[in-house]
Amino acid sequence: MEDQKKPSVEECLKQAYLDGMNDGIKQGQPKEFVICAAIRTSTGEIFRGHRHFHAFYAMKMCPRYKDERPWGDDQGFITSKNRYVDRKEAYRLQKAAGIKSVLEGTEHDDTAYIGGECYSEDLY
């Protein structure tokens, strides 16, 4: 028997994306899922990033936001439908789309989707 190679995180994410798209196509519409981390300023402007830190960094490059500290519901995600959602809604979308945290099945399994919320560490 050949040794089965464990798929990489990238391969798992690609397959989860394709599975979600295929399920959605069968049902007439692709399932919405999380794309990237984002923060929302007091004026409602959204900054995106691979991690929330990157979104903060981009925001800090704008002088008018140098003293802003988005927290709570102002730290969220952008979805495949270009919507800003908070951590709890992001978690619900990921679960509904059948997308597991990349931390599941690792030595960090106990930190996957902590408290019913999504963190950028769950994505990639």
Beta strands in the chain (DSSP E): 34-40, 46-49, 75-79, 84-86
Model confidence at 2: pLDDT above 70? no
Model confidence at 39: pLDDT above 90? yes
The tokens for 12 are 């798992």
- Mean per-residue pLDDT of the chain: 86
* Span 99-121, average pLDDT: 90
| Residues 66, 75: Cα–Cα separation, whole Å | 16
pLDDT at residue 22, as a whole number: 59
Model confidence at 114: pLDDT above 60? yes
Burial 102-121 (b: 16+ CB within 10 A, else e): bbeeeeeeeebbeeebbbbb
The tokens for 87 are 């951590």
* Span 19-33, average pLDDT: 66
pLDDT at residue 23, as a whole number: 57
Model confidence at 7: pLDDT above 60? yes
pLDDT at residue 12, as a whole number: 67
State what percent of residues in the chain have pLDDT above 70.
80
